[in-house]
Amino acid sequence: MNVNEYKDIPYGPYERNKLDAYILEEGKPTPVLIFFHGGGYVSGDKSSFQANSLMEDCLQAGISVVTCNYRFITTDPFPAPMQDGTRAIQFVRSQAEEWGIDIERIATSGSSAGGHIALWNALRGNLANPESSDPIERVPSDVSAFIGFGTQVSKDQRFYEDIYDGPHIQSNIALFYGISSTEELYHPNTLELAEKASAINYMSASAPPLFMTYDYPFDQPYISTDAPVGEMVHHPIHGYILKKKYDEYQIPFVFRHTSDPVRPGEMVRFLWECFS
């Protein structure tokens, strides 16, 4: 297996618009998985994916890998992280000829906050701006599939009203929206942002297949009142609720959690099925 590594490649104009690419030499264009790290939108680094077995599994199976940083909400609130996700996908696709990437077989993945960035973009579909003077912005941003680790599907606090009676709110939610305090969460302007920020609101018949896995058990369709905030925001019910919408459209959706864990090699098989 020959892998060409490209480190700290700028994909946009901002300091954190950097990616690492691990591109296979296959003699023909390869599919690629683009990964966005977690960290509550305030921390983390693209290098974290190296500790995830999916990276090596992809490379061994003939799938190139790209890992991305993005702007933090400490300086750039929504929609900046999501826009960086769009830009990263467009940039990777723009490198197809130079890197030997198959532009028709691009998938995204992410953990926690990075998962929501990737999911938001996956469900939005193609966000290219054909009228832009920036050639990268004219490149399509749609993807063939998504794999999420502990992924939220909503940044709207109202999402929890019928499934959770506990005291917690989403971590860093005021920073995410650039508001001064959580008391503003239900102000009309913030609710409008919440609608736009929540990936689940973009579900449609053209959505790509999904694979979502969570590090908590799922045995009831609600979140326990005494669940810590980390469990609340990474609870399998996020995937469960989105899967119900997927089932209405009969679009493939693999849902895993500690009560029904990921099978060996299952994620790579899922990707190849989506790329076929």
Residue 1 has pLDDT above 90, yes or no: no
Q: Tokens at residue 181, please? A: 């305090």
CA 155 to chain centre: 13
CA distance 31 to 173: 35
Q: What sign does the CA torsion over 170, 75, 42, 91 have? A: positive
- For the chain, the domain total comes to 1
CA distance 202 to 195: 10
Q: Tokens at residue 224, please? A: 């326990």
Amino acid at position 263, single letter: R
Q: Is 102:31 a contact under the CB 8 Å cutoff?
A: yes
CA 265 to chain centre: 20
CA distance 208 to 265: 20
Mean pLDDT of 23-35: 96
Please provide the size of the chain in residues.
Answer: 276
Residue 135 per-residue DSSP state: G
Which domain covers residue 162, as residue numbers?
Answer: 3-275
- Per-residue pLDDT at 213: 98
Q: What angle do CA 65, 18, 89 make, to 5 degrees?
A: 55
Structure confidence by residue, pLDDT tens digits, 105-116: 999 999 999 999
Structure confidence by residue, pLDDT tens digits, 191-219: 999 999 999 999 999 999 999 999 999 99
Q: What angle do CA 183, 78, 110 make, to 5 degrees?
A: 115
- Per-residue pLDDT at 272: 98
CA distance 27 to 208: 28
CATH number at residue 35: 3.40.50.1820
Mean pLDDT of 133-146: 98
Q: Tokens at residue 47, please? A: 């290098």
Residue with tokens 């996908």: 89
Q: What percent of the chain has pLDDT over 70?
A: 100
> pTM, whole model, 2 decimals?
0.97
Point out which residues pair with 163 in neighbouring strands.
Answer: none
pLDDT category of residue 95 using cuts at 50, 70 and 90: very high
Across the chain, mean pLDDT equals 97
